[in-house]
Each structure stands twice: as C-alpha cells, then as structure tokens.
Amino acid sequence: MADIALSKSALQQQRDRLRLFERFLPSLELKRQQLTAEYKKAVQVLAEAEHGADQASRALTALLPILGSARMQLSGLVRIRHVDVAGGRPGFTPTDAAGGRV
C-alpha cells in the first residue's frame, strides 16, 4: 500500500478523494454494466455468424461433391443433342480458332 502521512491535511485529502470516488462510482458502475452487455451481445452476434457460415459450408459441400473429389467420373454427364451454327444472335458470325469464318 501507499504510505499515507498521518496528518490532518493528509486525512482531509483522503476524505476528498473518497467523496470524489463515491460521487463517480455509480456512473462508472453503470458504464461497466453497459460495456458488459455490449460485449455479450457482440459475442452472441459472432456465434450466430459462425453458425451461419458453418451451415453454408455444409450446404455447399452437399451441393457440390464434384469440387471435393478429383477422381469423379465426368463422362456421360452432358450430351449435346443439337448444334445450331447458322442461327443464334443477330449480327453474330461464328469463327474458327484461327479467326476465319466458319
């Protein structure tokens, strides 16, 4: 502990400090309670966000099994039934790889 002088002036200073402390203690206690409540709210929001991210990750994993497996057989998944080269968008002219018209 701090050494306190044993005199009337030191006693008066300590009393003044005690009055000041007692004056501001209720507002400091209220501020502490507000900060504690905000902290708990932030922790809850963070937990909800992490839970949502976990759910989204599980949903994507279930929807996209191809991304998780490099050995999946892809042949036969898509069939081309018809190719329309002449039709299409107006003003569109198909070209080959060299840039010439098809």
pLDDT at 99: 56
Work out how many domains the chain is built from and give that number: 1
**DSSP state string for the chain:** ------SHHHHHHHHHHHHHHHHHHHHHHHHHHHHHHHHHHHHHHHHHHHHHHHHHHHHHHHH-HHHH-TT---TTS-------SS-SSTT---B-TTS-B-
Does 70 reside within a domain?
no
Residue 23 resides in a domain: yes
Q: Identify whether 85 is part of a domain.
A: no
How many percent of the chain have pLDDT more than 70? 70
Is 31 within a domain?
yes
Q: Is residue 47 part of a domain?
A: yes
Given this model, what pLDDT does residue 42 score? 95
Tell me which residue range forms the domain holding 51: 11-64
At 63, the pLDDT band (50, 70, 90 cuts) reads confident
Residue 69, domain member (yes or no) = no
- Please indicate, yes or no, if residue 60 is contained in any of the structural domains: yes
Residues facing residue 101 across a β-bridge = 95
Tens of pLDDT, residue by residue over 10-33, are 899 999 999 998 988 889 899 999
Segment 40-62, tens digit of pLDDT = 999 999 999 999 999 988 887 77
Structural domain contains residue 102: no
